[in-house]
Every structure is written in C-alpha cells, then in structure tokens.
Chain A
Amino acid sequence: MNNISEGAESGISTDLVDLRDMPLSRVGSLADAGLLKRILPESPAKQVTVAAFQSSI
C-alpha cells in the first residue's frame, strides 16, 4: 500500500515556520517573510518595488 509518510517514519516536516511560542513583538520580518510569501503569493511583495527616498520619512 502506498503510504503518505513513505520515507518519513514519524512525520513530514512542513514549510511553515512555527511562530506559536515566539513573542508577538518579535514576530515580523525576522521569521515570517517566507511564510507571508506562502500565504500571500500575489501580495504587493511580488510587485516591482523601489528604493524609498532616504531624506524624508
């Protein structure tokens, strides 16, 4: 019988970073950039983005 876990005895490792125990204040670009791309593949992050003028904020 074909087994979904073939080659992975105990389980499969996913592509999703586990952020459950990371304090919310530290969640952000440090860990979620790849995750956001997964969830929002067509987000503005894919558009051509440009460098913002540094002498104003």
Chain B
Amino acid sequence: MAGPAVPFRQFVLKVASRCDLACDHCYVYEHADQSWRARPKVMSDETIAWSASRIADHAKRHGLPGVTVVLHGGEPLLAGRHRLERISRELIRALDGVCALDLRIHTNGVLLDEAFCDLFAAHGVKIGISLDGDRVANDRHRLYADGRSSYDKVLRAIDLVRRRGPELYAGLLCTIDVANDPLAVYEALAALHPPRVDFLLPHATWDAPPPGPPGAYGDWLVRIFDRWLADGRMMKVRLFESALRTIGSETSLTESLGLEPSDLVVIETEGTYEQADSLKTSYDGAPATGFNVSDHSLDTVGLHPGIHGRQTGLAGLCAECRSCPVVSTCGGGLYAHRYRTGTGFANPSVYCADLMKLITHVQKAVTTMDRTAHTLPAADVAALAAGYGGVEAIAHLEAGQRSVRRALLAAIGNASPSMEAWRLLTEIDRETPAALDTVLGHPYVRVWAVKCLRGTADDGHLASIAATAALHAGVEASVRLPVRDGALHLPGLGLLRVGAVSGATVETEAGGFRVHADGLHHEVRLDEPGGPGEWSPVRHLSVNGLTVALEDVDLYRDCHQWPATQRLNDQEVERWSTLFSDAWALITRDHSAYAAGLAAGLRAVMPLKPAADGSEVSSTARDAFGAVAVAPPADAATLALLLIHEFQHVKLGALLDMVDLYDQDDTTLYYAPWRDDPRPIEGLLQGTYAHIAVTDFWRVRRQADDGPAAERASVQFARWRTQTAEAVETLAGSGALTGTGRRFVAAMGNSIRPWLAEPIPASAEEEARLAAARHRSRAAARVPHGA
C-alpha cells in the first residue's frame, strides 16, 4: 500500500505543550499519557516549516481540495502572538495554490485580547473557545492551578470574538459534567450566540470509567436535545446534528459518532506525529506513532496500524458494536473511550449505555415527526404522461417543488455560520409563510441553493432571500446583505447598484427599503416602478391576466447552456412584450391543450444572447422550475413553439424530482433523433417528452397555417411523429425504466401513435424521411461520448 486508505485532511498542530489553566478533566495533563513532561514548551520554527511542507506535499500528492489545520495545545495562545503569526503565514504560504486552508485555533480564551483577534482576523483563523456552561458549571473544573475561576476571563474573550462576527467566532466546546443542570448549561451557552457548540463526554475508559451511573450522560444529553428541538434548533449542536444526519444516512460531523474513517493526525510540539490525542486517556504512550515531521512523510504515518485501524469503519469495531442496532449512528463512540487493558480498543464505548439512550431517543423523535410523502393523483399523472397537464397537475408539481426548496434552504440555513438571516427566514415562515413561498418560488433561488450546497456559490444569498421575504411580508427588518458585482440582489424583485463595497445593510418596511453602505444611503419604493437610477427592478410580460417575469437581472440566472443577456433596454423590453403577447394569443387560440399548464407554471422568461449563427436558442435548467430561457426569436410562432417545447422539460424535471421513472445507474447511451450525440436515458426521456409537444405543435400548424408555412409544418410533423414514436420505442425497450416509468412511456406512446395515421402529402413525407436519414448517418459517424 502506498499511503493511508484515506488521506489526512485534518492536522492538529500542538503549538504549545503547556497550559495556564489546570482543569482537572484535562486529557493532556490529567490522564494516563504523561508525554507532555518531556516536550518543548512551544513549537520551533523548524518544526513549523517541516509541518507546513509535509501538509502541502500530502495535499498535492492526493489532490486534496482543502485541509483543516487546528492550532491546539495545551493552550495555543501561550505560543505567543509572533510565533502564531509565523505559523499562520507559513501554512498559508505553503498551501497557496495547492489547496484551500481552513485554519482554526482552539483556546481556553483566558489570554485572548484584541491584538490576538487582529492577528487571527488578518490571517483568516477562526477561534473556538472552551466553556463548560454557566459560572457554576465552568468553575467545577476550569480553574487556575491556585483554584481561581477562569469564568470571567473566558466570557470576556467570547465577547471579544462575538463582536468580530462569524468570520472569527467558530463556536464553543463544552465538556459535560452530569452534576451540572443540563438546561442551565444549555441556556448559558445559547445566550452567547455561538455559531456552533459541541458537548464532549469527559474522557474515560473501561479502566477509568466516568463518574455517575451508566446512562447518566445519555439522560443529561436527552434533556438538552428535547429543549434544543423545542427551541427550533436555533443553535447548531454538532453532536445532535451528527446523530440526526447519521440516522438520515448522512455523514457524522464529529469523530465521537459515526462510522466515518479518521483522517486526522496530530503533530506534537517537538514534531512527532501522533494519532488522535484523545488516546492520551488510554495508556501512557498510546498516541505515539514513532514518526516525525523531519524524517517521515504523512503517507508513511498513514501506514501506522493505529491510524489504519481507525479508517476501517464497521469492520474495525468489536463484535458487540458490529451487531448493535444503532451502530451506523454510534460507530462505537470515540475510539479512545473503548480502551480496556487486555482487550485494547476491541470493546464498545465505556459510554455505551449513554450513547444508546441518546441515539434511540433521537431516532424516536425523528420517526414521530410527520413525514408524509407527496402523492400525485392518477388523473394528473396521466395528463402529464400524455404530454399535457393543466392547472391541477402543475399545482402538484409546484407542491413538490416547495418541499424541495424548503429542504435546500434548511440545509443551507442550518449550516450557515450567520444565524441572522436564518432566524429572519424562520420567523417569516412562521408568521407569513406566503411571503417566503413567493421568494422561494422564484426559479433561480433553487439554482443558487444547489450551487451553494455543491460548494460553487457562497451562502451570502441567504440574507438576500431573507430581505426579499421580509419585503413580501411587509415587515420591518434589518439585514446585512452581500454586494455582488457592485449590486445588492433581491431575487424576483431586482438589483440595486451600490458600488464597490462588500456589503450593505438593508432595512425593510412595507412597500420599500432603505440601504446603508459605506456612508451612502439609498431608498427604494417598490410601488414606484422608476425608482432611483441605481434600482433595476425585474420587469414583467403581461397578457390577458398572465404575468411572468422578464428576468434579466438575477445573479444566478446564467445557468443555462447559453449565456444570458445583459439588462435589456426599453426597446428590447417592448419587443419582448409584443412577441410574448402574440405568442400567447397563438397558444391560447391554436394550442390550448398547453395553455393552462403554461399559465399555471411559467414564472419567468430569461432572455439569452442570440446565437452567432442565428439559430434558435432556448433552454431550461432542471433546478429552475418555471423558467424558460430563450434568445429573441424571429417571430411569435417560434416563441410559442419554444415556450411549449421548453415547458415540457420544466414539467418532466419536476416530476422526476418526485418519482423515479428510470434506473439512476443506467449508463447506456441511446440514439436521439434531435441530437448528433447519443444521450443517456434521462436525456432521451426528456427529449422524447418535449418532442411529443413539438410534433403536436406542427400537427396543428399544418392545418392552421396556409401556403409555405403549412408545407413546412407538414414536413416537420412528418419527421417528428416518426422519430418521436421511434424514440418512445427505444425508451420502452431500454430495460432501464422503472414500473412507473414504463407506464409513463407507454402513455406517451398512446399520444403519438394516432398521429402516425394522419394523412400528409407524399412530398412532405419524403422530405422528412430524407432529413431523418441524414441525421441518422451523421449521428452514426460520431464517436459516442457521454452527454
């Protein structure tokens, strides 16, 4: 084996080996391992340089997108400002251009002052602080050697960090003592508004079990969990979140729960590599690996059996844990807590009874929650499968989208370090849910949410969504918004140019808002369409009671295959307005089977740049339900066709969010008559579904139009009816459809089959046959590639 089964991504640098406190529950000094006595007090510059270069080499070798480095101790602030600055600089320098660096420090806080905060702010170092709860709880253990309390100093430190905001404030760590009142501890921590807290079980092993009866820690945590849930989870608690996530088959956020492999290595003050330092509680020398930064690479350390043993998940656990009903959440608890002389780590956790209590309680809370699934009435699915779908069918698809958006928003809100926007959103959801629905219903909100969860957009837009929801609700709120491309973005409403600042404060009220940014002030009234010159509101296309956004300002609209236009000028808007009115008149007059669905579900038309070769360009994005992107078409009939065609994708995409129509693992590529490249099953299904409507469009047009237009329509109809019917056969015979998918495709076939018998001129038939043959031979000449 060439290195660790899982590369290291977390590095704990013990930058100082001593501490200015003397907590009696400390695993560094008060437990079995006493190796600190022989260590230098601080990490030398040479060890720092070696550590940084080893980490950078490892990240490069394994192509890691990012690493986390925690400056730790003892008390890391004892390393001093200058040394901590050198360490930060050295790490940033070594990893520059290699991978992202998440740099953190974990401190007891007593030495923290403004100068340290300035240093950490300058280098992007986040600060976590240890606090065991209220004064009584904290003074039970966290004392100076002479017995003095550390409480006031720690609180002052937390206040300093809090004032700097979430860029600096990482959260609080609380070690549990069951002698403390759990709710008093919870309230004391919550009052400090930490972005995240965690509760740590005090270190113990089977040789040195924790005080209190088995299960006492579980009971203590359950009381906090219930309160936390009742409070609407307004503070992030890593242990509880991890339990919930693992119950939902997601990953744990902490090494104290779950089956995730360990990717952590400790670099001690003198440069030796150690395994997780919680092993210090097990026996003297337990964390040692025998390797050091100047002589050994991190891949060498990865081969150490102790490290490797903690990367094997379920297989690495004892028989009792392996057969435990809650093992996928518990994972045997923290490795160090399993130790017993004789059997080593092949035991359940010494906290087994506690973990079992907590996890089963959380499981029960999850299962008693209302978790009904959406249902789709048979008639609506049948209408959709036939290629249509009216108001009712679209309403059911929209209902599914609402759930999707709420889940996405909550996933972001629950992980966001800034609670301000999330609190406002949850309040609006409680008081005026329709206002939240309105903003979430804007098609490009989901586009942002998906990008954010994939790590390609930041979560700043959450605040923009919150401010927009407050405006829809007509409530007064003050929110700090990010400025992107020199503007504040209010999804669905518009953008306000504020210039080159990074953020601005928006104060909302009924009908408008005020903005303060770097001494500049703006006021926008939403009922005055002109507004100040800096305000670019979203304009609308309106016809016969149908109103859709002409979306040319949204920050996340440029998500289609083709580039979005810049803001349109008044003449361009006028032209869009005329085209849209005429296209809508055509749709309602001649293609009425599609009109009700479009009217119910079309939210936005997003103008694209015209194609260089003049061809028609239109697109939908799976995440932008209700939006159709289209370059200015030649005429209203073309716009009508593009809207009908693209809206088929909108409907089917939303349906696929709700039900599986095909096997997600199917990797076969299929011939698609409308593309030169072969398509995966979803692409073929989407294209076929859209072409049912395309065929239907030409079928109607060849009778509604006259002369050359009717002839052209006949050729198009002849071509697409045959090829779409063939594509339906390909789908049906693919073997990749689910039961529902097979029935859906059969119903698609039922729509198209009668059209095959409709008479058309022989010349049109022949022209269509030749076009189809040309396409097939062009497609056959291409080397298949993934689509």
Q: Name A's B-contacting residues (CB within 8 A).
A: 1-6, 8-45, 48-57
Which residues does chain B contribute within 8 Å of A56, judged by CB atoms? 12, 70, 72, 104-106, 128, 170, 173
Are A20 and B403 in touch, CB under 8 angstroms? yes
| Alpha-carbon distance A35/B260, docked complex (angstroms) | 21
* Residue of A2, A4, A35 with highest tally of chain B CB at under 10 A: A4
Knowing that A32-B410, A36-B407, A50-B261 are A-B contacts, what are 6 other residue pairs whose CB atoms are under 8 Å apart, sorted by A's residue number?
A1-B750, A2-B747, A11-B377, A28-B411, A51-B264, A56-B72
The answer to whether the Cβ of B658 comes within 8 Å of any Cβ in the partner chain is yes
The answer to whether the Cβ of B196 comes within 8 Å of any Cβ in the partner chain is yes
Partner of A24, one of B244, B409, B659: B409
Q: Which of B205-213, B247-255, B505-513, B535-543 contacts A (4 or more CB under 8 A)?
A: B247-255
Given the known A-B contacts A24-B425, A48-B6, are A53 and B264 also in contact in the complex, defined by CB atoms under 8 Å? yes
The answer to whether the Cβ of B371 comes within 8 Å of any Cβ in the partner chain is yes
Closest chain A CB from B522 CB (angstroms): 29
The answer to whether the Cβ of B9 comes within 8 Å of any Cβ in the partner chain is yes
Partner of A44, one of B70, B254, B454, B746: B454
Closest chain B CB from A27 CB (angstroms): 4
| Alpha-carbon distance A21/B376, docked complex (angstroms) | 17
Are B378 and A10 in touch, CB under 8 angstroms? yes
Are A27 and B743 in touch, CB under 8 angstroms? no
| Alpha-carbon distance A38/B623, docked complex (angstroms) | 12
Chain A residue with Cβ nearest B437? A20
Are A30 and B366 in touch, CB under 8 angstroms? yes
The answer to whether the Cβ of B712 comes within 8 Å of any Cβ in the partner chain is no
Q: Which of B34-42, B230-238, B319-327, B761-769 contacts A (4 or more CB under 8 A)?
A: B230-238
Are B407 and A39 in touch, CB under 8 angstroms? yes
Closest chain A CB from B49 CB (angstroms): 23
Are B407 and A4 in touch, CB under 8 angstroms? no
* Residue of A9, A23, A55 with highest tally of chain B CB at under 10 A: A55
Are B6 and A50 in touch, CB under 8 angstroms? yes
Which residues does chain B contribute within 8 Å of A42, judged by CB atoms? 454
Partner of B407, one of A8, A32, A43: A32
Chain B residue with Cβ nearest A50? B263
Given the known A-B contacts A15-B660, A17-B403, are A24 and B410 also in contact in the complex, defined by CB atoms under 8 Å? yes
Partner of A14, one of B375, B425, B450, B664: B375
Number of B interface residues in the complex (CB < 8 A): 98
Given the known A-B contacts A2-B743, A4-B381, are A35 and B403 also in contact in the complex, defined by CB atoms under 8 Å? yes
Q: Which 7 A/B pairs are nearest by Cβ-Cβ distance?
A: A33-B248, A5-B378, A25-B232, A51-B255, A32-B407, A56-B106, A29-B244
| Alpha-carbon distance A55/B106, docked complex (angstroms) | 8
Main SS class of interface, B: mixed
Are B278 and A54 in touch, CB under 8 angstroms? yes
| Alpha-carbon distance A25/B173, docked complex (angstroms) | 23
Some 26 contacts from A to B, beta carbons below 8 A apart, are A2-B746, A11-B375, A16-B404, A16-B657, A17-B403, A23-B430, A24-B410, A25-B232, A27-B407, A27-B409, A28-B244, A28-B410, A30-B248, A33-B249, A34-B249, A39-B657, A40-B450, A45-B250, A50-B6, A50-B9, A51-B262, A51-B264, A55-B12, A55-B200, A57-B170, A57-B196
The answer to whether the Cβ of B372 comes within 8 Å of any Cβ in the partner chain is yes
Are B406 and A36 in touch, CB under 8 angstroms? no
Q: Name B's A-contacting residues (CB within 8 A).
A: 6, 9-10, 12, 27, 68, 70, 72, 104-106, 128, 170-173, 196-198, 200, 229, 232-234, 238, 241, 244-245, 247-256, 258, 260-264, 276-278, 334, 365-366, 369-382, 385, 399-400, 402-404, 406-411, 413-414, 425-426, 429-430, 436, 450, 453-455, 657-660, 664, 740, 743-744, 746-747, 750
Which residues does chain B contribute within 8 Å of A51, judged by CB atoms? 252, 254-256, 258, 260-264
Given the known A-B contacts A4-B385, A32-B410, A57-B173, are A12 and B659 also in contact in the complex, defined by CB atoms under 8 Å? yes
Are A23 and B255 in touch, CB under 8 angstroms? no
Are B172 and A18 in touch, CB under 8 angstroms? no
Are A22 and B370 in touch, CB under 8 angstroms? yes
Main SS class of interface, A: loop
| Alpha-carbon distance A37/B232, docked complex (angstroms) | 23
Are B747 and A28 in touch, CB under 8 angstroms? no
Are B411 and A36 in touch, CB under 8 angstroms? yes
Partner of B255, one of A30, A48, A53: A53
| Alpha-carbon distance A55/B374, docked complex (angstroms) | 42
Are A53 and B10 in touch, CB under 8 angstroms? yes
Partner of A16, one of B197, B385, B400: B400
| Alpha-carbon distance A22/B433, docked complex (angstroms) | 11
Are B375 and A13 in touch, CB under 8 angstroms? yes
Partner of A36, one of B247, B408, B429, B455: B408
Chain A residue with Cβ nearest B245? A29
| Alpha-carbon distance A5/B377, docked complex (angstroms) | 9
Which residues does chain A contribute within 8 Å of B450, judged by CB atoms? 39-40
Which residues does chain B contribute within 8 Å of A54, judged by CB atoms? 198, 200, 254-256, 278, 334
Partner of B374, one of A3, A18, A37: A18
Partner of A15, one of B197, B365, B373: B373
Which residues does chain B contribute within 8 Å of A1, judged by CB atoms? 750
Which residues does chain A contribute within 8 Å of B403, judged by CB atoms? 16-20, 35
Are A55 and B400 in touch, CB under 8 angstroms? no
Closest chain A CB from B367 CB (angstroms): 10
| Alpha-carbon distance A16/B248, docked complex (angstroms) | 14
Partner of B369, one of A4, A8, A13, A30: A30
Chain B residue with Cβ nearest A37? B249
Which residues does chain A contribute within 8 Å of B436, judged by CB atoms? 24
Which residues does chain B contribute within 8 Å of A14, judged by CB atoms? 373-376, 400, 658-659
Which residues does chain A contribute within 8 Å of B414, judged by CB atoms? 28-29
Partner of B377, one of A10, A20, A33: A10
Chain A residue with Cβ nearest B623? A39
Chain B residue with Cβ nearest A6? B743
Chain B residue with Cβ nearest A40? B453
